[in-house]
Structure 1
């Protein structure tokens, strides 16, 4: 039960961190590309790769992994917002940008989680 409550708390902290970063980026970024969501998801996937490597190499216990990945990163990352932004771009007839954002949202995070895993594995 305590792990459940701590995961919930970490999820809330992740959501607050996402809000702060999202708001900060949106203050100076006014272009069509939804940079704030993209940056948040890139950071989250890199950190998820690091955490997965740390857990796989038994550097951190499973409970710490769950608190960070399921809790904090679960609240921090936002794939649903990215999909909504893609639909919004397409609905506003920005088809090229929507396609680019779709590709970037799929490809770049896969690269980031792989890099996070690599960095986390090298640190072990």
Structure 2
């Protein structure tokens, strides 16, 4: 039953990623892959909140598993970010590819930390 529920939550996460991506693409016309960047930033912040909530025993393992492994696993997309970096580099957009690479590494680390801090200050 847990397996099926994690899969279901992953499907909801993938649907949410699709909606967010399409919504942002409607108005974002620049080279920087903003939809994936926003999705991964939000996902890492939420993962930080969830991990801290689990560590402080605010949520149980089952809820953590459904949200982080299921929903956020379907919502976030590191493989798409890497593909976008390679695509930018192949189009000779080397500076943009480098900026995106650095931002894709640094910003999620900050987001996870902020998520943890949000929960830590409330404990």
TM-score range (shorter-chain normalised) is: over 0.9
Separation (CA, whole Å) in 2 of partners of 1:12 and 1:111: 27
Separation (CA, whole Å) in 2 of partners of 1:60 and 1:119: 15
Per the alignment, residue 80 of structure 2 pairs with: 81
What's the secondary structure of 1:58's corresponding residue? coil
Per the alignment, residue 12 of structure 1 pairs with: 11
Separation (CA, whole Å) in 2 of partners of 1:75 and 1:123: 28
CA deviation string 1:80-120 (max 9, x = no partner) = 00000000000000000000000000000000000000001
What's the secondary structure of 1:28's corresponding residue? coil
Q: Which runs of 5+ in 1 are unaligned?
A: none
Per the alignment, residue 56 of structure 2 pairs with: 57
Separation (CA, whole Å) in 2 of partners of 1:113 and 1:71: 17
Separation (CA, whole Å) in 2 of partners of 1:120 and 1:89: 37
Per the alignment, residue 33 of structure 1 pairs with: 32
Number of aligned residues? 123
Quote the RMSD (CA, aligned, Å). Answer: 0.5
Q: Give the TM-score of the pair, scaled to structure 2.
A: 0.99
